[in-house]
């Protein structure tokens, strides 16, 4: 690595640390219904939304009503996205006269975008009409992100309440997230991106002549508006097939730096929001520190692997599969951040990374994407591991486990275990079947351990609601589209519903005052224990598969073999 790489890394993390507290405090004021910066400019839009939807924002919901409203809303959203794809040839804003999407691809895409996954088995510029991109993908980028943040806030209220089942109002939390947080940030960022050269229009595609005299089609479209929210909302779906490696999505080093920053910005701020709403900033600092430690461990390992001399080509810092305008370090930082969150965007091909660097990206997803994670869902995923850690600590000392003064009962632990096991089971069953079924193996472009990594990464991305792809696997088939849609839904709602159930259970409990036997959860000791539990759970669950994939490929690479 060069001095310039170290400077960029230092500037990146300094900016993230500086922006986290003010944004987190602002978000807390939004959710608490307190006056804030955007109250007057956008308060009318919030009130208009309530009137148009017939919603009383002051009406509280217990966890079952909250969950019911959320599931109904997401179900309708999935039908709308599916219908837009199937009818796009009959709808306006389709200057390229693109045909309808196949039913299985439309099903997969609808499930993907309503769950904040944004897995794409298609090329955006050759498959989706402008109206489908605007009303389907861009709208769901806002709503799926807002859904995750709403569940986060409901869980915070559950931890804060004292024998009160009211977790807030789902419709109010959803509206406030979109109107006061995601919309203003996206407007500012989309304007900046358009100024950097990201396209934002409704023109037909341009036909130009290359220097060799050949014809080339340059895709157009409303990209800047979708790119802004895809990064801020940790969605990650690309307007163009090459995603954030495409010069129309990510044209300059400055746009690359700020897009990387926005990937982690709101997930990082969510942790501070947690501390402000609970009045326990030390707890927030402990959670943030655990996330940062895990992120830096993965980033350090991936950078080390990529900058080591390749034993086959005898070159360090291989540029194959990477953009020259970004370089090795920015490519690794992007992919590490995107897989540590639920943002599936890429500015380089993970398939071209060294086996260990690609393995780090895979492990980030397999850990449950709690290393900051997606907007909202990263925090409530991390809190599941916090409860697991507290439970294990209680068993070790022979004391009833408690968190924030509330005792954990058997039902709480059962919900935690269910939320941790469902995505793991979906990954293992899906990848295991796909490694032996001919219909699945026919999509592979690589053999050996690399081919296994492609399959395992795909199902990790499905269940982790990440959406990034290892490449080399043709997933736009009926098998992968249908099975992938099922795994995507399990990965989202198999964690979301237990999180709300835990919130409902915790809301009804009394808060016991701290005593000499209380296990503090805001100390460096707890941070170390929490990091250890996350790594142990992730490594024990997936170490055999990781050994057969990235680790075996690494040792074979040292012997001069590639796949």
Residues in the chain: 563
Say if residues 219 and 248 touch (Cβ distance below 8 Å).
Answer: yes
Q: Which of 229, 245, 265 is the last residue of a domain?
A: 265
pLDDT in tens, 252-283: 999 999 999 999 999 999 999 999 999 999 99
Q: What residue numbers bound the domain in which 89 lies?
A: 26-265
Backbone angles phi, psi at 105, to 5 degrees: -70, -40
Could you say which residues of the chain have pLDDT below 70? none
**Same domain, residue pair 253 and 388:** no
Residue found under tokens 């559950």: 158
Other C-beta atoms lying within 10 Å of the C-beta of residue 414: 13
Identify the pLDDT of residue 260: 94
Q: Does residue 418 belong to any structural domain of this protein?
A: yes
**Same domain, residue pair 209 and 86:** yes
The percent of residues above 90 in pLDDT, for the chain, comes to 64
Cα–chain center distance at 220: 26
Q: State how far the Cα of 111 lies from the Cα of 463, in Å rounded to an integer.
A: 12
Own/partner long-range contacts of 292-298 (Cβ < 8 Å, ≥24 apart):
293/527, 293/531, 294/340, 294/367, 294/370, 294/371, 294/531, 294/534, 294/535, 295/336, 295/337, 295/340, 295/371, 295/372, 298/336, 298/340, 298/360, 298/363, 298/364, 298/371
- CA torsion 499-540-442-241 (nearest 10°) is 50
Q: Does residue 387 belong to any structural domain of this protein?
A: yes
**Same domain, residue pair 234 and 100:** yes
Burial of 214 (C-beta count, 10 Å sphere; 0-12/13-18/19+): exposed
**Same domain, residue pair 118 and 253:** yes
Q: Does residue 314 belong to any structural domain of this protein?
A: no
Identify the pLDDT of residue 90: 92
Instruction: Please give, one letter per residue, the 3-state secondary structure of 155-191.
Output: HHHHHHCCCCCCCCCHHHHHHHHHHHHHHHHHHHHHH
Backbone angles phi, psi at 473, to 5 degrees: -120, 120
Domain count, the chain: 2
Q: Does residue 348 belong to any structural domain of this protein?
A: no
Tokens representing residue 160 in the block: 């804060």
Residue found under tokens 């209380």: 518
Sign of CA dihedral 431, 342, 237, 78: positive
Q: Does residue 330 belong to any structural domain of this protein?
A: no
DSSP string, 390-433: HHHHHHHHTS--EETTEEPPHHHHHHHHHHHHHHHHHHHHHHHH
Distances (CA, A) of 115 to 139, 147, 341, 349: 12, 9, 14, 23
Q: Does residue 294 belong to any structural domain of this protein?
A: no
Q: Does residue 272 belong to any structural domain of this protein?
A: no
Q: 3-class DSSP state for residue 313?
A: coil
pLDDT in tens, 104-140: 999 999 999 999 998 888 888 888 999 999 999 999 9
Q: Which of 222, 243, 265 is the last residue of a domain?
A: 265
Residues 378-399 as b or e (16 or more Cβ within 10 Å = b): bbbbbbbbbbbbbbebbeeeee
Say if residues 108 and 56 touch (Cβ distance below 8 Å).
Answer: no
- CA torsion 106-109-114-115 (nearest 10°) is 140
The percent of residues above 70 in pLDDT, for the chain, comes to 100
Residue found under tokens 């540029």: 319
Q: Does residue 219 belong to any structural domain of this protein?
A: yes
**Same domain, residue pair 88 and 229:** yes
Other C-beta atoms lying within 10 Å of the C-beta of residue 79: 12
Say if residues 363 and 542 touch (Cβ distance below 8 Å).
Answer: yes
Identify the pLDDT of residue 395: 81
Q: Which of 239, 265, 291 is the last residue of a domain?
A: 265
Identify the pLDDT of residue 560: 78
DSSP string, 205-271: PEEEE-TTS-EEEE--SBHHHHHHHHHHTT----SSTTGGGSTTTS-SHHHHHHHHHHHHHHHHHHH
Say if residues 432 and 425 touch (Cβ distance below 8 Å).
Answer: no
């Amino acid at each position: 690595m060069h001095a310039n790489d170290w400077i960029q890394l230092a500037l990146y993390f300094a900016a993230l640390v500086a922006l986290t507290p003010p944004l987190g405090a602002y978000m807390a004021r939004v959710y608490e219904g307190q006056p804030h910066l955007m109250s007057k400019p956008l308060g009318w839009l919030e009130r208009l939304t309530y009137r148009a939807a017939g919603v009383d924002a002051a009406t509280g919901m217990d966890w079952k009503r909250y969950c019911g409203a959320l599931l109904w809303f997401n179900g309708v959203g999935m039908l709308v996205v599916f219908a837009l794809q199937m009818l796009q040839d009959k709808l306006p804003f389709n200057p390229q006269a693109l045909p309808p999407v196949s039913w299985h691809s439309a099903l997969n895409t609808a499930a993907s975008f309503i769950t904040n996954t944004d897995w794409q088995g298609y090329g955006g510029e050759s498959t989706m009409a402008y109206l489908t991109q605007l009303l389907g993908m861009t709208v769901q980028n806002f709503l799926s992100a807002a859904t995750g943040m709403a569940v986060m806030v409901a869980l915070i209220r559950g931890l804060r309440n004292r024998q009160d089942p009211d977790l807030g109002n789902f419709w109010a939390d959803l509206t406030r997230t979109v109107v006061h947080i995601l919309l203003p940030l996206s407007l500012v960022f989309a304007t900046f991106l358009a100024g950097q050269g990201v396209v934002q229009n409704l023109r037909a595609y341009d036909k130009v002549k290359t220097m060799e005299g050949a014809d080339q089609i340059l895709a157009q479209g409303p990209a800047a508006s979708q790119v802004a929210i895809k990064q801020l909302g940790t969605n990650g779906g690309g307007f163009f097939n090459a995603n954030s490696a495409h010069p129309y999505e990510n044209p300059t080093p400055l746009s690359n730096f700020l897009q990387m920053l926005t990937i982690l910005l709101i997930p990082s701020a969510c942790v501070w929001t947690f501390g402000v709403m609970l009045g326990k900033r030390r707890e927030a600092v402990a959670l943030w520190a655990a996330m940062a430690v895990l992120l830096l461990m993965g980033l350090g390992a991936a950078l080390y692997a990529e900058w080591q001399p390749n034993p086959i080509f005898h070159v360090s810092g291989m540029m194959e599969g990477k953009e020259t305008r970004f370089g090795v370090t920015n490519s690794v930082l992007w992919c590490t951040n995107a897989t540590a969150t639920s943002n599936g965007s890429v500015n380089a091909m993970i398939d071209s990374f060294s086996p260990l660097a690609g393995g780090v990206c895979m492990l980030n997803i397999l850990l449950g994407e709690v290393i900051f994670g997606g907007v909202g869902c990263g925090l409530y995923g991390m809190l599941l591991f916090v409860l697991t850690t507290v439970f294990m600590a209680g068993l070790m000392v022979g004391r009833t486990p408690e968190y924030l003064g509330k005792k954990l009962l058997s039902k709480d632990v059962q919900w935690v275990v269910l939320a941790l096991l469902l995505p793991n089971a979906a990954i293992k069953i899906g990848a295991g079947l796909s490694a032996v079924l001919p219909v699945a193996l026919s999509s592979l472009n690589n053999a050996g351990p690399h081919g296994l990594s492609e399959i395992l990464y795909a199902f990790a991305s499905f269940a982790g609601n990440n959406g990034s792809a290892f490449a080399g696997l043709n997933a736009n088939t009926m098998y992968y589209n249908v099975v992938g849609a099922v795994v995507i839904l399990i990965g989202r709602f198999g964690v979301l519903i237990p999180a709300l159930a835990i919130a409902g259970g915790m809301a009804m409990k009394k808060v016991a005052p701290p005593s000499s036997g209380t296990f503090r959860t805001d100390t460096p000791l707890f941070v170390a224990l929490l990091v250890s539990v996350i790594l142990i759970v992730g490594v024990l669950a997936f170490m055999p598969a990781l050994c057969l994939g990235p680790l075996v490929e690494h040792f074979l690479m040292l012997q001069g073999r590639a796949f």
